Amino acid sequence: MGCCCDDDEQLLQPLNPPLIQNSDHIPPPYSTTTTDVHGGEAVISPMNSNFSALICHDTLRAILQKLSLPDLARAACVCRIWNFVASDRELQTKAFKDPWKIKDVVGDPSSGSFWRDNSLSKFAISHRIVRGDSVASLAVKYSVHVMDIKRLNNMMSDHGIYSRDRLLIPVSNPDCLINGTCYIELDIYAKREVAVLYLEGGPNPKLTTMLNRLTSERNRKRVIESLRRSMQVDCETAQYYFAASDGDPRSAFSQFSEDLRWEREAGLT
């Protein structure tokens, strides 16, 4: 069972096809029978997506919006229709923020896997570092362990605080999230996407611009390195084709393949 089906007809196929061999067959508890789309008798059960109500977008949406975020992620793996409805951003955001009574979630994650979990570890408080701050003093201020701050920010020692503009503080009291606005950010030190809560104001535009620039540059280097390995060339050659294709790795690889084919036909290699 995967998230997508290879054939549109599979959208209507039950997850567990009924095995009705004779009249002695006893349906499972809490199940009933109905006529399926192929004219046969099928068993309606919680694991049978062949039930017509479960392939109606409006009905399915009304059901899925009552699920927790992990269950919503599982529902997206039933079939295409379920994936289409369960992947709706409004549904995902609602399931993400409702347990903590968050007012709003701002930003788009770089990966859809962000919406698979909304445990407390997914959140952090942004603390702008000022003179006199130390990891120990921040641990006392926010009622968290020193090691938790270091672990979240990938700090090897307390001295790492002096080279940063801010630290992410783990959330120990979920009440601080109530009616708050969280910003989805990819922190360069935490090296993962976090729903960041600003207790005073919002994100610093300059800091956000810097983080976005660093993130874009890191992604660019990652793509170029991938191209270099695929092409089996040096880094400069990979950078050339990446720039010539306006940052499209597929176009870069296609252009490289065409040039390589021309060199072979011309007897240059």
Residue 241 pLDDT:
87
Number of helices (H), then strands (E), in the chain: 9, 7
Say if residue 254's pLDDT is above 70. Answer: yes
Give pLDDT, residue 213: 63
What b-and-e string marks burial along 219-249, b requiring 16 or more CB atoms within 10 Å of the CB?
eeeebbeebbeebebeeeebbebbeebeeeb
pLDDT in tens, 74-115: 998 888 888 899 999 999 999 999 999 999 999 888 888 899
Task: HSE, CB side, 13 Å, CA atoms: give it for residue 14.
Answer: 21
pLDDT at 8: 43
Output the pLDDT for position 148.
95
* Rounded-to-integer distance, Cα 22 and Cα 31, Å: 17
**Looking at the predicted structure, is the pLDDT value of residue 216 above 90?**
no
Phi, psi of 168 (to 5 degrees): -90, 130
Predicted local confidence at residue 20, as pLDDT: 43
Both tokens of residue 261? 């084919």
Q: How confident is the model at residue 230 (pLDDT cuts 50, 70, 90)?
A: confident
Give the percent of the chain with pLDDT over 90.
36
Distances (CA, A) of 179 to 101, 112, 120, 265: 6, 24, 16, 66
Percent of the chain with pLDDT over 70: 74
Task: Tell me how far apart the alpha carbons of residues 91 and 114 are, in angstroms, rounded to a whole number.
Answer: 14
Is residue 159 scored above 90 in pLDDT? no
Task: Point out which residues pair with 59 in neighbouring strands.
Answer: none
More confident call, 223 vs 143 = 143
pTM: 0.60
Residue 182 has pLDDT above 70, yes or no: yes
The predicted model gives 188-212 an average pLDDT of: 77
CB atoms within 10 A of CB 194: 22
Q: What was the pLDDT predicted at 256? A: 87
C-alpha distances (whole Å) from 149 to each of 129, 156, 201, 207 are 13, 11, 22, 20
- Give yes or no for residue 202 having a pLDDT over 90: no
More confident: 191 or 179: 179
